[in-house]
Every structure is written in structure tokens, then in C-alpha cells.
Amino acid sequence: MKRRVVLLGPPGAGKGTQAARLATRLGVQHVSTGDLFRWHISQDTSWGKKAREYLERGLLVPDEITVAMVAEKLKEDGFVLDGFPRNLAQARALEDILASHGKELDAALLLEVPEETVVERLSGRRVCARCGRNYHLKFQPPAGERCSCGGEVYQREDDREEVVRRRLRVYREETAPLVGFYESRGKLWRVDGVGDPEEVSARIWAVLSLDPL
Ligand code: AMP
């Protein structure tokens, strides 16, 4: 069974939701670099201090910080990586980290979603400050102003439309080349990311030869 998986795709493709489900299904850790950075920022750690400005502006945090943070997590084997790697240098660093443990990546899944869908998903997205649950103003609004856990629901600074456009540009320029990188290694699988989350999960189970739920 595949136990070392990367999820690729533009911001708003649904990587977070699908990575969490897949990790549960495979019994491995879900490693989201975006969530890790947001945690470090909320705790005001030294990595958080360095990363804050990049997140607010929708730019990539420098590789040395990001790779060090991920390497720490990958000491434990088995993972679904979400939001990493995001450029070729990070993809090579991931290979090196895994090789140093005598392992290699099993699969890179590309969640394909058209750009306009992504802008609509992200600009309407709201997140619970307490439990991290995602809502959408149009498709899945929170009941009242609050999350079901009681936490406050807010808009991520980088989900504002102009920042979303910049994140998409960064994706096209820096992350999209990873598709060719994993294709040339015979590790790339494409998954249609349009549709409700259950449908998309079912496509992922099929690609990974997991039984349907
Ligand atoms: P995400 O939640 O995956 O959309 O990530 C939010 C932000 O965190 C990005 O816009 C970047 O500023 C930063 N970030 C997340 N993952 C990475 C990465 N692999 N490399 C550099 N920056 C990252």
C-alpha cells in the first residue's frame, strides 16, 4: 500500500480536506506546511516570526526554513504531504530526506481544478480560529457567526482576492513544474478536483487502488 504521498494542486484545490481524509485512511500523518506555519505564527516561535510576512503576502517562505520544518516531521515514516513541495528545490530536498532514511516517495497526486473555481472557493472561504474547520460563505456557511465548536470564524489574510491571484501566480511559476518532475519519475497521478469532497475522495481511492468506502 502507498504510504508516502504528496498532494499537488493550486491553492484552493481541496488539498487540505483530501489530505486529511487520505491520511486517516492510510493511517499516516497529515503534514500541511501551511498549517504548520500558521501554528508557528500563532505561537510566535522563531520560525513563525520569520514566516509571517511571506504568508501575509502570499509568497513562498524561504526553502531553508520550510525544508527544516518538514525534515523534522518526516522522521516519522508514512505521510500525506499537503502544500509541500512547492518548487523544484523542495522536491529535490524531499528526495534527499527520504533517501537518508532509505525510503522513497510512492505517489504524487495532482488535484486539478480550473483557476476561476479556485478564486471563487478561496475568496468565500472562512476558517474557524479554534478548530481550523473550513466554511464557505456561499456553499457551506457557518450557522450564525460562529463555528459549531464555538470558535470565531474569520477570513485568512491570504484569502483576499488580490492575494489569491498572487498565490496562483506563484503556483504557476514555481509549483506547476513539479508536475513534469514527478511525471518523469513515473509517480504522477491526475485527479479531477471538481465536485463535492466525497466524489473527489472516491477518485483518489480509485487512483490508489483503495476499496471504495
Ligand atoms: P497553504 O495553506 O498551503 O495555502 O499555505 C499558506 C502559505 O504558507 C503559502 O502561501 C506560503 O506563504 C506558506 N507555505 C506553505 N507551504 C509552503 C512551502 N512548501 N514552501 C514555502 N512556503 C509555504
Using a 6 Å cutoff on CB, does residue 84 contact ligand 1? yes
- Under DSSP, is residue 113 helix (H, G, I), strand (E, B) or coil? coil
> What is the rounded average pLDDT for all residues in the chain?
95
Distances in Å between the alpha carbon of 111 and those of 108, 155, 173, 203? 10, 23, 17, 10
Confidence (pLDDT) at 54: 97
- 33: pLDDT strictly greater than 90: yes
Confidence (pLDDT) at 192: 98
Using a 6 Å cutoff on CB, does residue 10 contact ligand 1? no
Confidence (pLDDT) at 2: 82
CA distance 169 to 125: 19
Catalytic one of 2, 15, 121, 126: 15
Confidence (pLDDT) at 39: 95
How confident is the model over 61-77, as pLDDT tens digits? Answer: 999 999 999 999 999 99
For range 177-182, the mean pLDDT:
98
State the amino acid at position 179 in one-letter form.
Answer: V
Torsion 161-147-142-116 (CA) sign: positive
The answer to whether 121 is a known catalytic residue is no
State the amino acid at position 22 in one-letter form.
Answer: L
How confident is the model over 124-172, as pLDDT tens digits? Answer: 999 999 998 989 999 999 998 899 999 999 999 999 989 999 999 999 9
Using a 6 Å cutoff on CB, does residue 33 contact ligand 1? yes
Confidence (pLDDT) at 117: 93
pTM of the shown model: 0.91
